[in-house]
Amino acid sequence: MRYDSITEAIGNTPLVRIDPAVHGLRNIDLYAKLEMLNPFGSVKDRAAWSMARPLLAEAVEHGSQVVELSSGNTAKALAVIAGMHGLGFKSVTNRMRVPEIKDLLLLLGAEIEELPGQSECLDPTATDDPLTLFHRTLSASGSACLHTDQYFNPRNTEAHLTGTGPEIVKDLDGRVPDWFVACVGTAGSSTGVTRALREEDPSVRVVGLVAAKSDFIPGIRTIDEVQEVGLFDPDTYDTMESVRADEAIEGMLTLNRRCGILGGPTAGAAYFGAVRHLRALDEESEERRTAVFIVCDRVESYLSYVRQRRPDLLGRPPRKNSPADLSDAEVGRAPSIGVADARRWIDTDRPLVVDLRSPYAYAALHIDGSVNIVDELFAELVRGGLPFSKRQSVLLACPVGEQSARYAALLTRMGHPDVRSLAGGIIAWRDAGAPLVRD
Amino acid sequence: MDGRPLHVGPQPEPLYLRPRLEPRLNSLMAAHGTLHSLVDALGSPVHVVVPDQIAENLERFRSVYRSHHLSGQIFYAHKANRSSALLRRLAATDAGVDVASLGELQHALGAGFDAGRITATGPKNPEFLWLAARAGVTVSVDAAAELDQLAALVRSHALAPVRVLLRLSGFETSGVKVLSRRSRFGTPVRELELLLGAVERHADAVDPAGVAFHLDTTSVAEKATALEGCLAALELCRSRGLRPRAVDVGGGFGVSYLAEREQWEAYTSGLTAAVLGRRPPLTWGGHGYGLRDEAGTLRGTLGLYPAHRPVAGAAYLDELLAQPAASLGGRPLAALLLEHLYDLHTEPGRALLDQCGLSLARVLEVRDQEAGGPLLVRLAAKADDIALEDHGVLMDPVVLPRGGAGPGEGPVAVHLFGSLCLESDLITRRTVFLPRRPEPGDLLAFANTAGYAMDFHATRAQHQPAARKVAAWQDGDAWRWCLDDQFWPITPSRGAQ
């Protein structure tokens, strides 16, 4: 397929049947709408393009900055679209909790502003909540900006009313699915698709999924937060159900490992919520039915999210020569030397003094003549074997003598005959009045 | 989902907001006889503080310091409570105190804190500044002009050089811009060079001990940005030949007030539904606590303290210290403080006062409403005596029945009114659900009021008294008490203390 612009590749995503052996539903065919295959990586490509497109010509003329309140995929798509048209993009957010997305946005040239947190000494009469301030700055700035306003912009919904929804019907050979399951973020995709499906067949049942209240699933709002969305209309959904973060990850794993669909946690939540909702209905069902859920984006951006919640999934084999393998007794036996003796030792035998602190701390103040190998780097070096000749005596120094004792014990175990830890560390050194220098 | 207004029908399920009570405060709350006799003797309302709890809270902060091998002082932010008992109990520990007025400084010196354990912060008048300099306490300097003023005092009165912390604000980040509310305090970091110029000019009069900030926010990211900025500021100090030793990260570590997350979630969801007209109002006059309905969409921001917080107090400090500093190789802030040999100072107020007291008010009148709506309950206390609502803290009071626990007739909804002749004298605008109907003579006990809710806002309006304050402690199974001002760490009958 040949295109003149990458934006032409937005939409017309595949609808893929999930293997019944995976979901276990006997009478319901479950289909995934793979919005993750949009060119910028998510379902938001449609909305971003739909909202920005009619305003771009004027924005280019005025050199406006594109501005949106977004913590993720909308920002990503808008950053790309803005960049393609030579415009700047700024994302304002208080919800950006996934570091990879932040980094990716910066890479794409976006500017990110994080809104301040709630006041600790709260003044309940204050009216300067961060969002009000945001809107005030937008209208007062006088500087040109293109605010796409995804939570209220009808063109967000329209992208799905004219695109995603009809595509689903077409790929089901003109039939409307019996159920449509969608996670609710801006409510744009669920509202637009639902409207398109109901126009064809009002009997479609729509399940809206929200995050459990204290949980965080990227791209999904909680039951209270959806009320703040202008596009949200409770009548869109026949039922609203909530999904927990661990359930979303469980669903994501099934998609990733069993279905070959590399969707992210939002997709996992949709899959999990869909199967949970359909299981009871499946038993009652006599004839074949169909259900569709949306795979919103890809898994790769959420590795730190997974690492935080399910570190077991990213487990790695243990490495050798790690200070973590040492017993407390071994660390206790680590050769160490007090400040006064260490000063004499340095004067007479000239051991190599290794300062394990960060380069910033080392640059600020250190023992004269020492070399700086920051602990992380030292750990890497030691993993490969002894980094010093056995004929070179070594004095290890860290802030309080704890890390240096561990490494002294480790190097001793690895066969070094004369490595010692500075007891009490650089702090004891300072407290004893021994000299520290800046170079 | 039907989602249409349903203003009719039976009272919906009660939405409780049960206070979180740790064992000591829970035990005090159960001492009905003692609490009733207190109000009988001293009148309603009465505040009870629990000095031993503040020492325990201090130890929790200390253990966070220990786990990161950090040294430095924990300065109790005195402004959160005027109590002498709490202050004197802390004087008997190794804690410091942060004073924000001449009176607070006098109080701290009189409670037994030596100058090395006191910092003076906030707006200062000349008398406050003089006494701070004379006594030799550390002064947190707000701006270059204050530094000039302090140096002039030191010279003209031939005082010893004063230790100062330079309070900074307006921290900037690279990469992601972390927005922060503008503060009226501190010197913007971009003016640091000018300030350091002043420090060097006044080298005979001031000793720069380090830098400080205090941000009024619950956001860990904002504070981490500020702390990272302080590390850069200290490096600038060192490059100019100064020898700073400490960073003061201020306070704002927070308290979790409620026992159960689910209750807080159910309440805030209920409030949202009520504001949107999808359930009966949950407040007096349909007040929305900052939320409002605009054509079916929720607008505004919930102006309430996050009453259930999974991470608060010492644990919040721990989380802050674990944040990586992007400009310094991504190392955690705690490791950077340690390896740069800096002391960490903190100024917890509310967090040190967690579980340190409760407030008692007598029920004067219980009036039925005609429509079968919430009961109207009038208390012998003004709203400013129990100022939880002034800080946006929503929490149920505990009913202490006059004649022991009655049979109870099931939950009732009530509105709690104060004793002022003023429409707005509401203890809370929230409809409060109580497990049983209160009767005149019963006490309502408001838990965990020691932080900012006892005396910070109290007035003597309409010739009504401000609440009396007592200190209470455990003596075996019994609770003993004395007037707050009578309490000293050696107070008789405190046993071996």
Query: Which pLDDT tens digit goes with each residue over A13-27?
Result: 999 999 999 999 999
* Range A113-138 average pLDDT: 73
Note whether B293 and B250 are same-domain residues.
no
We report the CATH number of the domain holding residue A329 as 3.40.250.10
Tell me if A5 is assigned to some domain: no
Contact B179 A359 (CB under 8 A): no
pLDDT at res. B5: 37
Strand partners, B207: B163
Instruction: Note which residues in 235-254 of chain A have CB less than 8 A from chain B.
Output: 235, 237-240
Asked, for residue A437, whether it belongs to a domain, the answer is no
Q: DSSP per residue over A327-350, as a string?
A: -HHHHHTS-EE-HHHHHHHHHHH-
Q: How many CB pairs under 8 A join A and B?
A: 147
Q: Which of residues 240-259 of B touch A (CB under 8 A)?
A: 251-252, 254
Q: What is the mean pLDDT of residues B398-406?
A: 81
Question: Across the interface, which of A113, A360, A399 has its CB nearest the CB of B338?
Answer: A399
pLDDT band at B4 (very low <50, low <70, confident <90, very high): very low
Say if B16 falls within a structural domain: no
pLDDT above 70 for B21: yes
Chain B residues closer than 8 Å to A102 by CB = 175-176
What residues in B contact A432, CB-CB < 8 Å?
none
Task: Report residue A427's pLDDT band, with 50, 70 and 90 as the boundaries.
Answer: very high
Model confidence at B7, in pLDDT bands (50, 70, 90)?
A: very low
| Residue B69 to residue A230, Cβ atoms within 8 A | no
Q: Which among B269, B331, B339 is the nearest to A223, CB-wise?
A: B269
Question: Is the same domain home to A90 and A186?
Answer: no
Distance CA B359, CA A132 (A): 36
Q: Which of A114, A237, A402 sits opposite B69 (nearest CB)?
A: A402
Say whether both A426 and A382 belong to one domain.
yes
Which secondary structure element, helix H or strand E, spans residue A241, and what is its range? strand A239-243
Position B261, amino acid: R
Instruction: Measure in Å the smallest separation between the Cα of A258 and chain B Cα atoms.
Output: 34
Q: Which of B179, B336, B390 sits opposite A113 (nearest CB)?
A: B179
Higher pLDDT among residues B359 and B463, named by residue? B359
Average pLDDT over residues B341-357: 97
B424 touches A: beta carbon within 8 Å: no
What is residue B1's predicted lDDT score, i.e. its pLDDT?
38
B170 and B122 in a single domain? The answer is: yes
* CA pair distance B100, B123, nearest whole angstrom: 7
Q: Give the DSSP per-residue string, A247-275.
A: HHHHHHHHHHHHS---B-HHHHHHHHHHH
Q: Which of residues 336-365 of A touch B (CB under 8 A)?
A: 357-361, 364-365
- Model confidence at A339: pLDDT above 90: yes
In a domain, B438, yes or no: yes
Residue with tokens 């309430």: B304
Copy the structure tokens of residue B123.
């707006």
Cβ–Cβ < 8 Å for A294, A33: yes
Domain contains A83: yes
- Quick one: B114 and B215 in the same domain? yes
Asked whether residue A179 is assigned to any structural domain, the reply reads: yes
Measured CA to CA, the distance from residue A133 to residue B302 in angstroms comes to 15
Residue B404: pLDDT over 80: no
In 3D, which of B122, B195, B134 has the Cα closest to residue B161? B134
Please name the residues in contact with B471: beta carbons below 8 A apart, sequence gap of 6 or more. B48, B49, B50, B51, B83, B85, B86, B481, B482, B483, B484, B486, B487
Same domain, A33 and A83: no
Residue A97 has pLDDT above 90, yes or no: no
Residues of chain A contacting residue B350, judged by C-beta atoms under 8 Å apart: 120
pLDDT of residue B369: 81
Answer yes or no: do B225 and B322 share one domain: yes
Nearest-CA distance A80 → chain B (Å): 18
pLDDT band at B173 (very low <50, low <70, confident <90, very high): confident
Domain final position from A116, A147, A178: A147
**What is the DSSP pairing of strand B138-141 with strand A65-69?**
unpaired
Q: What CA–CA distances, in Å, run from B230 to A5, B320, B349? A: 48, 14, 22
Q: What is the pLDDT of residue B217?
A: 86
B4 within domain boundaries: no
Q: Which tokens sit at B261? A: 């997350």
CATH code, B377 = 2.40.37.10
Residue A117 near chain B (CB below 8 Å): yes
Range B413-442 average pLDDT: 92
**What contacts 24+ positions apart, CB below 8 Å, involve B369-378?**
B373/B413, B374/B412, B374/B413, B374/B414, B374/B415, B374/B431, B375/B412, B375/B413, B375/B414, B375/B415, B375/B437, B375/B438, B376/B414, B376/B415, B376/B417, B377/B414, B377/B415, B377/B416, B377/B417, B377/B438, B378/B417, B378/B418, B378/B419
Least confident residue range of A421-425, A428-432, B10-14, B151-155: B10-14
Contact B216 A111 (CB under 8 A): no
Q: Do A116 and A162 fall into the same domain?
A: no
- B188: domain range? 51-254+308-345
Distant-in-sequence contacts of A254-262, Cβ < 8 A, 24+ apart: A254/A22, A255/A32, A255/A295, A256/A299, A258/A19, A258/A22, A259/A18, A259/A19, A259/A22, A259/A32, A261/A16, A261/A32, A261/A34, A261/A36, A261/A295, A262/A36, A262/A298, A262/A299, A262/A300
Q: What is the pTM of this model?
A: 0.84
pLDDT of amino acid B171: 87
pLDDT > 90? residue B165: yes
Same domain assignment for residues A39 and A83: no
> Mean pLDDT across the stretch B303-311?
92
| pLDDT-wise least confident of A133-137, A158-162, B33-37, B214-218 | A133-137
pLDDT at B184 over 90: no
Q: Is the four-CA dihedral B330, B334, B338, B343 of positive or negative sign?
A: positive
Where would I find the beta strands (DSSP E) of B279-392?
Answer: 291-294, 297-300, 324-325, 331-332, 343-345, 357-367, 375-379
Nearest CA in chain B to A122: B391
Backbone dihedral angles phi then psi of residue B183, each to the nearest 5 degrees: -105, 145
Q: What is the mean pLDDT of residues B347-369?
A: 96
> Does residue B389 sit at the A interface (CB-CB below 8 Å)?
yes
The torsion defined by the Cα of A311, A314, A316 and A321, in degrees rounded to 10, comes to -50
Residue B2 counted as domain residue: no
The boundaries of the domain holding residue A410 are 323-431
A57 with A159, same domain: the answer is no
Q: CA-nearest residue of chain B to A427?
A: B341
Chain B CB contacts of A360 below 8 Å: 231, 235, 328-329, 336, 340
Query: What is the C-alpha to C-alpha distance for residues A191 and B72, in angstroms, rounded to an integer?
Result: 56
**Residue B435, class by beta-carbon neighbours within 10 Å (0-12 exposed, 13-18 middle, 19+ buried)?**
middle
- Stretch among A130-134, A254-258, A337-341, B452-456 having the lowest mean pLDDT: A130-134
Sheet with A179-183, side-by-side order of all strands: A15-17, A28-34, A289-295, A179-183, A205-211, A239-243
Residues A83 and A171 in one domain: no
Q: What is the CATH number of the domain that holds A106?
A: 3.40.50.1100
pLDDT on residue B3? 37
Question: How far apart are the C-alpha atoms of A423 and A401, rounded to whole Å?
Answer: 5
Average pLDDT of span B54-70: 97
Q: How many CB atoms lie within 10 A of CB A284?
A: 7
Q: Are residues B181 and B287 in the same domain?
A: no
Minimum distance, in Å, between the CA of residue B222 and any CA atom of chain A: 7
pLDDT > 70: what percent of chain A?
A: 95
Residues, chain B: 497
Overall domain count for chain B: 3
CB contact under 8 A, A358 and B328: yes
What's residue B144's pLDDT? 94
Report the number of distinct structural domains present in chain A.
3
Which chain A residues are Cβ-neighbours of B261 within 8 angstroms?
A: 214
> pLDDT averaged over chain A?
91
Could you tell me if B190 and B226 lie in one domain? yes
Q: A300 and A172: one domain? A: yes
* HEC assignment per residue over B291-310: EEEECCEEEECCCCCCCCCC
H-state helical runs in B179-260: 192-201, 220-239
**Domain contains A1:** no
Q: Confidence class of residue B8 from pLDDT cuts 50, 70 and 90?
A: very low
Q: Which residue has better confidence, B45 or B372?
A: B45
> For residue range A377-401, what is the model confidence (pLDDT) as tens digits?
998 899 888 999 999 999 999 999 9
Q: B429: nearest CA in chain A?
A: A124
Say whether both A238 and A263 belong to one domain: yes
Cross-strand pairs, A33:
A15, A294
Residues A67 and A138 in one domain: yes
Q: Is it the case that residue A138 has pLDDT exceeding 80?
A: no
Q: Is the pLDDT of residue B258 over 60?
A: yes
Residues B291 and B242 in one domain: no
Task: Spell out the residues 6+ positions from residue A44 whose beta carbon is closer than 8 angstroms to its own.
Answer: A72, A73, A74, A76, A77, A297
Q: Are strands B46-49 and B468-475 parallel, antiparallel or unpaired?
A: parallel
pLDDT at A216 over 90: no
Instruction: Give yes or no: residues A37 and A166 share one domain.
Output: yes
Cα separation, A101 vs A260, whole angstroms: 23
Asked if B1's CB is within 8 angstroms of A106's CB, the reply is no
Q: How does residue A323 score in pLDDT terms, banded at 50, 70 and 90?
A: confident
Q: Is the pLDDT of residue B46 over 70?
A: yes
User: Which token pair is B96?
Assistant: 């410091």
Within 10 Å of residue B223's Cβ, how many Cβ atoms? 28
Question: In this structure, is residue B1 part of a structural domain?
Answer: no
Domain termination site, one of A147, A162, A187: A147
Interface of A with B in 382-401 (CB under 8 A): 398-400
Kindly state whether A439 is in contact with chain B, defined as any CB-CB distance less than 8 angstroms.
Answer: no
Sheet holding A89-93, edge to edge: A145-147, A65-69, A89-93, A111-114, B177-178
pLDDT at A266: 96
What is residue A223's predicted lDDT score, i.e. its pLDDT? 83
Q: What is the pLDDT of residue A244?
A: 93
User: Is the Cβ of A132 closer than 8 Å to some Cβ of chain B?
Assistant: yes
Q: A-chain residues within 8 Å CB-CB of B216?
A: 119-121
What pLDDT is attached to residue B497? 42
Centre a 10 Å sphere on the Cβ of residue B235 and count the other Cβ atoms it contains: 17
Mean pLDDT of B57-72: 97
Q: Which residues contact A329 (CB under 8 A, 6 or more apart)?
A: none
Q: Nearest Cβ partner of B216 from A121, A239, A361?
A: A121
Is the per-residue pLDDT at A215 higher than 70? yes
Joined tokens for residue B10: 């039976």
Contact B74, B101 (CB under 8 A): no
Whole-angstrom CA distances from A298 to A77, A173, A315 are: 14, 27, 21
**Spatial contact of B450 and B26, defined as CB atoms under 8 Å apart:** no
CA A249 vs. chain centroid, Å, equals: 13
Verify that B224 and B323 share a domain, yes or no: yes
B176 and A438: CB-CB below 8 Å?
no
- Domain final residue pick, A262, A296, A314: A314
Instruction: Identify whether B9 is part of a domain.
Output: no
Q: Yes or no: say if B369 and B60 are a contact pair by the CB < 8 Å rule.
A: no
Evaluate whether residue B118 is within a structural domain.
yes
Tens digit of each residue's pLDDT (9 = 90 or more) over A257-272:
999 999 999 999 999 9
Is there a single domain that holds both residue A37 and residue A51? no
Residue of A121, A129, A374 to mutate for B, most B C-beta atoms under 10 A: A121
Residue A118 resides in a domain:
yes
Does B497 reside within a domain?
no
Point out the least confidently predicted range of A97-101, B137-141, B292-296, B443-447: A97-101
CA torsion A289-A295-A299-A300 (nearest 10°) is 140
Same domain, B45 and B164: no
Bridge partners (DSSP) listed for residue A150: none
